[in-house]
Amino acid sequence: MKNPLLSFFILVTFMACSQNSLEKFSSAKGYSFRYSMEDWKVEENESQTFVFNKQKKSSNFNPNLNVLIQDLPNQSMPMSLEDYHLLTLNQIKNALGENSIQSNKNIKISEIAAKEIVYTMPPNFNNNNQPKLKLKQVYFIKNDKAYLITYTAEMNEFSNFITSANEVFESFKVK
């Protein structure tokens, strides 16, 4: 009885480890992150990196992550994370309404102070034929650039892929 149980335990452990293996993506733009090749496919263009979900979905909307780098205006006083955060919150509230923001907190990405906000977008926003969406956005500032990483999914599918999306957030590094 001990041998079949031990064999089963080893098999389950092996399967769990192999499912969680992460691939490293390094961008020529100076950042990297790890992601599950089982869940995501990476595409990059001049302005953004897109990470599309590869799993079957119940609708036409594809959960995704995207990475955007914004050059901040060259001013005598560089824009602080707090100023950028207030600007972002105001833009979200003005576009989507006061109640769209579900959470707002301070975090760290690669030991860099960052902000995390989770908010919703109503269906058919801007007359696009889209379902109600939920977004998790993390951003920080380094070397006069804002780094924004956003996970977007349908409201009812957000929790299905958040663990895998969090692997990208948690492994994100800037050179």
CB 51 within 8 A of CB 41: yes
Structure-block tokens of residue 58: 């119940």
- pLDDT at residue 6 greater than cutoff 90: no
- pLDDT at residue 14 greater than cutoff 60: no
Residue 2, pLDDT score: 54
Amino acid found at 46: E
Average pLDDT of span 26-30: 93
What is the band of 103 on the pLDDT scale with cuts at 50, 70, 90? very high
CB 35 within 8 A of CB 67: no
Residues in the chain, overall count: 175
What is the band of 129 on the pLDDT scale with cuts at 50, 70, 90? confident
pTM here is 0.84
Backbone angles phi, psi at 117, to 5 degrees: -130, 145
Structure-block tokens of residue 54: 């590869």
Residue 124, pLDDT score: 74
CB 172 within 8 A of CB 33: yes
Residue 139, pLDDT score: 98
Residue 3, pLDDT score: 59
User: What is the tens place of the pLDDT at every residue in 48-87?
Assistant: 999 999 876 667 789 999 999 999 987 777 889 999 999 9
Domains and CATH numbers, the chain: 22-174 (3.40.1000.10)
